[in-house]
Amino acid sequence: MEPLILYFVLFFPGIYASSFSGALTQVQSIPFSILRELGRTLTYTVPSLVLLWYLIPKRKGFSALRMKARPRKRDLFPFGISLAGLIIIGLFVSLLATIFFKTPSLPKIESPSSLSGWIVIVFSCLCTGYLEESYFRYYLLSKLDNVVPNEAVRICFSTVLFSICHIYEGPWGIANALLAGILLSVIFLRYRSLHGIAWAHGAYNLFVYVMSVW
């Protein structure tokens, strides 16, 4: 019950605001604003991450956020393969959407136009990566370990919840999130590297902004 309550508290407000209030229509363009992005990060992403990290160490079996699990060189390998996989998935989904529907698979994202804007977006992407990976991969997969011994079922459950958060991106955005969620779950369960997949998630989000420049 606790994972679902946390999911509702941390992610459902954003799902409701971006999707259900818009009659489940796909967003065509996402404009960039330094104040809005910084405000969202400081008032939503960071407080949500702090709450999650406050709860996790109090649960038995969780140790990835303790001092002994600080970022290390061994996190670079899962970071590398996760980022490469995310980029391949994103490009593949975009290609399929363009071929079959001749439309972009994801909403057009406007990039920052100043150095301060890029600094804000790097900070925002990193915080978002840590928040989503801390919950959907580290917390959720570990929390369900004793309740659902089957790893495939846990991965499916985590990935479905993760993809719902991207419903505003339309069907191709959901497909991208489904494939990305499976990839990140498998890599996390294999290497137990929260930092690696969080860095990759943040770097992929940044990659989307960089690509939108071109």
CA–CA separation, 143 vs 135, rounded Å? 10
Low-confidence winner among 19-28, 100-109, 133-142, 159-168 (lowest mean pLDDT):
19-28
Which pLDDT score, from 0 to 100, does residue 63 have?
A: 53
Give the 3-state secondary structure of residue 11.
coil
Structural domain range at position 131: 75-106+114-214
| Residue 138: inside a domain | yes
| Residue 59: inside a domain | no
pLDDT, one tens digit per residue, over 166-200 is: 887 888 889 999 999 999 999 999 999 999 999 99
Q: What is the mean pLDDT of residues 115-124?
A: 94
| Residues 165 and 11: beta-carbon distance below 8 Å | yes
Low-confidence winner among 4-8, 86-90, 129-133 (lowest mean pLDDT):
4-8
Which pLDDT score, from 0 to 100, does residue 3 have?
A: 84
| Residue 10: inside a domain | no
The count of structural domains within the chain is 1
Single pTM value for the model: 0.87
**Taking Cα atoms as reference points, which of 109, 110, 89 lies closest to residue 172?**
89
pLDDT, one tens digit per residue, over 44-88 is: 999 999 988 888 766 555 554 444 467 888 999 999 999 999 999
| Residues 133 and 65: beta-carbon distance below 8 Å | no
Taking each helix axis as running N to C, give the angle between helix 115-132 and helix 46-55, from 0 to 180 degrees, rounded to the nearest 10: 30
Tokens of 9: 């508290």
| Residue 80: inside a domain | yes
Mean pLDDT (the chain) is 84
| Residue 92: inside a domain | yes
Which pLDDT score, from 0 to 100, does residue 22 have?
A: 45
For the chain, strand residue ranges (E) read 29-30, 108-109
CA–CA separation, 2 vs 5, rounded Å? 5
| Residue 47: inside a domain | no
Which pLDDT score, from 0 to 100, does residue 98 have?
A: 83
Give the C-alpha distances (Å, rounded to integers) separating 213 from 48, 97, 109, 118, 128. 30, 20, 9, 12, 21
| Residue 27: inside a domain | no
| Residue 95: inside a domain | yes
CB count within 10 Å of CB 180 equals: 23
